[in-house]
Structure 1
Amino acid sequence: MALAIRRGAMRLLASAGLTGVPELPLASGRRADIVALDGRGEVWIVEIKSSLADFRADRKWPDYRLHCDRLFFAVAPDFPLAVLPEEVGIILADGFGAAIERQAPHHPMPGATRRALTLRYARAAAARMMALADPDGFREMML
Structure 2
Amino acid sequence: MSEHLPNQPGQRLARGICRAFASLGWETLLEYVPTRGLRVDVIALGPKGEIAIVECKSGIEDFRADQKWQGYLPWCDRFYWAVDADFPVDVLPDGMGLIIADAYGGEIIREAPEVKLPAARRRAVTLDFARVAARRDRRYRDPDVRHLEG
Which residue number in structure 1 is paired with residue 110 of structure 2?
102
Q: What is the percent sequence identity of the aligned residues?
A: 44
Structure 2 residue 139 is the aligned partner of structure 1 residue 141:
no
Query: 67, 79, 82: which one pairs with 1:74?
Result: 82
Superposed displacement of residue 128, structure 1: 0.4
Q: How far, CA to CA, are the matches of 2:66 and 2:143 in structure 1?
A: 34
Distance 1:109 1:43 in 2: 9
Among candidates 108, 116, 124, match of residue 116 of structure 1:
124
Rounded Cα–Cα distance in structure 2 between residues aligned with 1:73 and 1:93: 10
Give the distance between the partners of 1:28 and 1:101, measured in 2 at CA.
31
| Aligned AA (1:140) | H
Please, which of 64, 71, 78 is the counterpart of residue 63 of structure 1? 71
How do 1:1-143 and structure 2 match up within 5 A? 1-136=9-144, 138-142=145-149
SS of corresponding position for 2:85: coil
Deviations 1:26-53 (A, max 9, x none): 1253111111001110000001111101
Give the TM-score, by structure 2 length: 0.91
CA distance in 2, matches of 1:20, 1:117: 13
Structure 1 unaligned segments of length 5 or more: list them.
Answer: none
Q: Runs in 1 of length 4+ with deviation above 6 angstroms? A: none
RMSD of equivalent CA atoms: 1.0
Q: Which has the higher contact order (CA 8 A, sep 6+)?
A: 1
TM-score by length of 1: 0.96
Gaps of 5+ in 2: 1-8
